[in-house]
Amino acid sequence: MNIADQTFPAIDGANEDRAQAIRDQLRDAIVDRRLAPGTKLSEGEVGTLFDVSRTVARAALQMLSFEGLVRTERNRGAFVANPSPEEARQVFASRRLIEPGIAIAAAGRMTSADVAAFKTQLEEEGRFIAERGPTARRSEIKASGDFHLLLASVAGNVILQRFMEELVARSSLVIALYGRSGISSCGHNEHLQILEALEAGNASRASALMLHHIDHIEADLDLRVRSGPALRQALEF
């Protein structure tokens, strides 16, 4: 039993797909790093934990594998993804391409309700930064991602929104793996600046700020290969 350090809250009695609910909980667990990269997620174990059959557990794992959060090997099972530095770079390259455009789109569509949502979001983000300890750090990473997801939802393009969901989730994994813990609070300031630009309807400024913001996030990573890459790959670790 590898996952079961943490009991997952029971699935709410929605008539919605149970597989989807399981996927969401697993995704949160992965993004929060309660499930470490490389952890095996066996169908049976997941099924038992969530009290469903392997069929449903399997469907949830398949979804996560499409999102790149889980890697599946035939006849071997599913494992929490362990993105390589190269993969990490590609994640951020993708974000550099997409997010400035999202910022522009969002700048033209912000309502006052959106602004309010951003403000509560950023307040919460600030709280987590003030706190110390690994739990707060996890919540901080998650909250920081939520800012970007909120922006994507305001932009009003559901396709890009889904892309961003994937990219943000993978970024969280990458940050957890390669982040230098120090500088993350400056990201919060940048979020505030971006919101300012959005509120002012200054699309190009919001876009430029976003681009810098992504650069800063990536610059905070240590993407050098740590031990010998051959060994690392051989161990898949």
Partner DNA sequence: TTGGAAAAGATTGCATACGATTTCTGCCGA
Partner DNA sequence: TCGGCAGAAATCGTATGCAATCTTTTCCAA
Q: Which listed residue (2, 17, 127, 189) binds a second copy by CB under 8 A?
A: 17
Nearest Cα to Cα of residue 191 among 101, 125, 137: 125
Q: Which listed residue (34, 54, 96, 212) binds DNA by CB under 7 A?
A: 54
Q: Note whether 31 and 70 are within 8 A (CB).
A: no
Among DNA, a second copy, none, what binds residue 105 when CB lies within 5 to 8 Å by partner kind? Answer: a second copy
68 binds a second copy (CB under 8 A): yes
Q: Note whether 31 and 172 are within 8 A (CB).
A: yes
236 binds DNA (CB under 7 A): no
Dihedral angle of Cα 106, 108, 109, 114, to the nearest 10 degrees: 60
The CA-atom distances, in angstroms, between 160 and each of 61, 92, 95, 154, 214 are 23, 15, 11, 11, 17
Which x/- pattern, by CB under 8 A, does the window 173-212 give for a second copy? ----------------------------------------
Sequence-distant (≥ 6) Cβ neighbours of residue 85 within 8 angstroms: 178, 223, 224, 225
Among DNA, a second copy, none, what binds residue 93 when CB lies within 5 to 8 Å by partner kind? Answer: a second copy
Beta bridge partner(s), residue 79? 40, 71
Among DNA, a second copy, none, what binds residue 42 when CB lies within 5 to 8 Å by partner kind? Answer: DNA
Beta bridge partner(s), residue 183? none
Q: Which listed residue (30, 78, 91, 206) binds a second copy by CB under 8 A?
A: 91
66 binds a second copy (CB under 8 A): yes
Phi-psi domain of 156 (left: phi exceeds 0; alpha: psi -120 through 50; beta: other): left
Cβ proximity to a second copy: between 80 and 169 the closer is 169
Q: Which listed residue (39, 48, 157, 193) binds a second copy by CB under 8 A?
A: 157
The CA-atom distances, in angstroms, between 214 and each of 16, 141, 219 are 35, 14, 8
Q: Name the residues that contact DNA, by CB under 7 A.
A: 17-19, 42-45, 47, 52-56, 58, 72, 74-78
Q: Residues in the site for a second copy, rule: CB under 8 A?
A: 15-17, 55, 59, 62-63, 66, 68, 74, 87, 90-91, 93-94, 96-98, 101-102, 105, 157-160, 163, 167, 170
